[in-house]
Amino acid sequence: MWLAFHLLTGGTFLSARNLWNLSVQTASVGVMVGGMVLVIVMRHIDLSVGSILGLTGMIMAVLNARVLPDTSWSGWATLLAGLLVGAAIGAVQGAWVAYLNIPAFIVTLGGLLIWRGFAWILTSGQTVAPLTDRFQVFGGGLGGSIGGPWSWAIGAALVATVVVSDLRSYRRRARSGLPQRDPLLQVLVTALSVALIIGFILIMVGYPDPRTGLPRGMPVPVLIMLAVTALLMWVVRATRFGRYVYAFGGNPEAARLAGINTARLTVMVFALMGLLAALAGAIQTARLNAGTNSTGTLAELRACL
């Protein structure tokens, strides 16, 4: 598909500039995907994430443009307020599912309509703009990238992590007598992972800053997406919370009888989903430099698919 688009656009689609912009545009969805995976693993669904994204984005836009002064901390204060609202909305929806036994489909379908309505009521349908430069950093604006040297430093760290992780996993399975890949195949798999990382960094540094001509490097939204993905992977693989989520998804009744507080777990997962939707709202609102009522429309479909 990429090659077809590249040919149809006369060599524009696979340019560094277009791929850089696509990575920024998809970062908000990438942030929500991890939370949606946990929701789906627990046999639920959250259809309200697009509306939560829109509401929290509008709240952050109002705070940033009309309430908070333009100071060094205003961008972070705006983000924190949005995250708290998103987590609270998710927790409320999770409580309806966990303690009132209302299907998540019904609860979040109602949330899809309700939270979008609150976003409209908040500003009477007005678009709120412009936002401060410090908040726009979260959306990958002109100052929302880390430059070439730092991008290569992060790329080197990722390469080292992949190599060390694959090597440790190979040795651990060998000591345990578990079946594993042929050594040559393992080297090829690791080399492919390293090549993908290097290729990604090359694309990120291949798009120059229009003001200075220097490489823009990784955009902040992509860094946020990578950090969220890495954190959730660690949570799923190495924490009790992650094991409980998969135990609940395998057999909710067995998980409850095993002593897991399944109601609290459900609330926590939905609260996490709400927090990630708010984080996606911050990214998208900052990228647009405006809070609009249409922000996040149909984002629930993209996150679920």
What phi and psi, each to the nearest 5 degrees, are found at residue 211? -85, -40
Give the pLDDT score at 211. 79
Nearest to 204 by CA among 136, 286, 148: 148
The residues near 150 (Cβ < 8 Å, ≥ 6 apart) are 217, 218
Give the pLDDT score at 224. 96
Cα distances (Å, whole numbers) of residue 201 to 26, 69, 206, 229: 17, 36, 8, 18
Cα distances (Å, whole numbers) of residue 20 to 53, 103, 116: 23, 40, 30
Q: How far apart are CA 80 and CA 64, in angstroms?
A: 12
Burial class of residue 202 in the structure, from the number of CB atoms within 10 Å of its CB (0-12 exposed, 13-18 middle, 19+ buried): middle
Nearest to 214 by CA among 138, 135, 150: 150
Q: How far apart are CA 139 and CA 27, in angstroms?
A: 9
Q: In this structure, are residues 89 and 79 in contact, taking their beta carbons and an 8 Å threshold?
A: no
pLDDT truncated to tens, each residue of the chain (305 aa)?
Answer: 989 999 998 888 989 999 999 999 999 999 999 999 999 999 999 999 999 999 999 999 999 999 998 888 999 999 999 999 999 999 999 999 999 999 999 999 999 999 999 999 999 989 999 999 999 999 987 788 999 999 999 999 999 999 999 999 888 888 888 888 888 998 999 999 999 999 999 999 999 887 788 899 999 999 999 999 999 999 999 999 999 999 999 999 999 999 999 999 999 999 999 999 999 999 999 999 999 999 999 999 988 87
Give the pLDDT score at 11. 85
Distance of CA 162 to the CA centre of its chain: 21
Give the pLDDT score at 178. 83
pTM for the model stands at: 0.93
SS3 292: coil
Q: In this structure, are residues 245 and 35 in contact, taking their beta carbons and an 8 Å threshold?
A: no
What phi and psi, each to the nearest 5 degrees, are found at residue 219? -75, 150
Q: In this structure, are residues 16 and 200 in contact, taking their beta carbons and an 8 Å threshold?
A: no
Distance of CA 141 to the CA centre of its chain: 18
Burial class of residue 243 in the structure, from the number of CB atoms within 10 Å of its CB (0-12 exposed, 13-18 middle, 19+ buried): middle
Please, what is the end-to-end C-alpha distance for the chain in angstroms?
Answer: 18
Number of CB atoms found within 10 A of residue 54's CB: 27
Q: How far apart are CA 55 and CA 194, in angstroms?
A: 39
Q: In this structure, are residues 81 and 56 in contact, taking their beta carbons and an 8 Å threshold?
A: no
